[in-house]
Chains A and B, each alone.
Chain A
């Protein structure tokens, strides 16, 4: 038996950790290391990567993935998956476009209805999960396919084709475009508004997770939902809100896609759900929940964006992108695991 400490004297087996160890035990450490390595790699091999004007392009790619990835990360920290996120983005864009076009509405009405629908999809996922007790993996796999079918079929019914009708002649288009798809320049760098949203939401969700009561509930719900419930945490409401959060993110990205290109392809988005999850996992989220980082997920999205553009800037075949991502996923997870073990052991 271990020598139990005598009461009132300190337990010398548990000592304060150094600042370095505290840093190394952060969930996002693998992502930070990965981001630096990837940046250095492409900085060396791809001349275009060194062009400062391309920073805007890289960040743009990161932002459309990153906005979803941080909400997916929050959900994963809460212990659940959402596989329907990729098609949910397309669903939201299509919903706004079809509703506004079909009824000749002000596009803002379409935008708001799309928000309601997106939140409803999230709420439905959460409700189904809470009432059936099925794994969220299954529940959202189901809604993934349901939404995918709806996207294709409804678009066919409304437009007879595979893309939504252009809506740029409808009322409110200009202002909606200004909100969801505008851009501005800082020096020679062109920044899309989604980059701003991405940064803001990362800061907001990080604060939510680490510094609010609700964040504490998310950590507990994901870490041990029975324990959380036993001390009075409303576990079901917490999870429901998390699913609705991914619905909100899908809406935001969907609106951007719609007003950026002013039409949405009904088959888009499939496969992206895994990119979001990969970004979250590279960022340090455990698949089992209860542990992870929002900033890490944002950095995970940054890694994705740098890789995707770096490969083409370097003149490599872009077909290799996914292979690269797969290797990176495993690598980052191993680094996370190894570093965390070392830091915790010390």
Chain B
């Protein structure tokens, strides 16, 4: 599907960064959720931020999106030092965020959600017809057709909701779109749809920050990769300097994965056992000790 995602330097000859984080950190009391993060986001590029649960990805986007303020370092938006006090400020500067939980109110209709916070008005009243029309058109451009704009968003599928949230961000003039694990809750096909929109947004000249813990998704569309671990950047590389295997390896924690595979070699993943009744307490803890008697394959790897 993608594969065209090779470097596209034509889009950003200016070499200036839309968004720059310099040594940014965030501590809550004596807990350092994020330390010394450097990220550069250009327009027309997809910057992938990868990391396991708890690596600090959420904290990072919340800082960029204006929900939290960083406690160390400097954030620059279009070269200007910035600290956002609210999501509204971030939006006003062209930074839109599509959250994991989508930031859509499930009981509200499609058009109300689409224009939430950016309502179109005629005098004091909302221009409902216009908003329905625009929401319908924008969604159609994204490839989903919802005949009834009054449907509550909660009754749509996860992929459709994701696309509404993305369409909304793009429509309201974002220059940088942050996508917080947009594919995490989606099936294979719907993930593909979302990935296509990421490419579309890049081609439209937007800067995309794609947060994910799936290196395969990231490598399909990313131009630049940052891996976070325990609140620090452990890898910061351009697409040219990296293969998918390396990315996957780094993401899975390189060394840790090697250790894990070493440990798990004992379990013989090809093996099946005939089903029989399991008495309470007969499944012990997974610490490899005496190789559980009846199976022969496991004791040689113990050491």
- List residues of A whose CB falls within 8 A of some B CB: 1-2, 4-5, 7-11, 14-17, 22, 207, 211-213, 215-217, 219-220, 223-224, 226-234, 286, 290-291, 344
Contact = CB atoms under 8 A, between A and B. Distances in A.
Contacts of B225: none
Interface of B: 65, 67, 86-88, 91, 97, 99, 101-108, 112-113, 115-119, 121, 124-126, 128, 140, 143-148, 150-152, 155-157, 159-160, 187-190, 193, 196
A22 B151 CA distance: 10
Contact of A223 (B101, B108, B115): B108
A218 to B, nearest CB: 11
A224 B101 CA distance: 10
A275 to B, nearest CB: 26
Nearest to B102: A227
24 contacts: A1-B187, A2-B187, A4-B159, A4-B187, A5-B144, A7-B196, A8-B140, A14-B147, A15-B148, A16-B147, A16-B148, A211-B125, A216-B126, A219-B107, A219-B108, A220-B116, A223-B105, A224-B106, A226-B101, A227-B104, A231-B103, A232-B86, A290-B105, A291-B107
A10 B193 CA distance: 15
Contact of A14 (B88, B146, B193): B146
Contacts of B128: 211
A224 B125 CA distance: 23
B44 to A, nearest CB: 23
- Among B102, B126, B152, the most chain A Cβ lie within 10 Å of the Cβ of B126
Contacts of B189: 1, 4
B178 to A, nearest CB: 11
A228 B187 contact: no
A228 B105 contact: yes
B66 to A, nearest CB: 9
Contacts of B159: 4
Nearest to B163: A7
Contacts of A1: 187-189
A227 B101 contact: yes
A230 B67 contact: yes
Given A207-B125, A219-B108, A233-B117, 7 more contacts: A2-B157, A4-B193, A211-B126, A226-B101, A227-B103, A231-B117, A290-B105
Contacts of B99: 227, 230
A207 B144 CA distance: 31
A11 B105 contact: no
A14 B156 contact: yes
B117 A14 contact: no
A316 B72 CA distance: 73
A222 to B, nearest CB: 8
A232 B108 contact: no
A5 B157 CA distance: 11
A208 to B, nearest CB: 9
A163 to B, nearest CB: 42
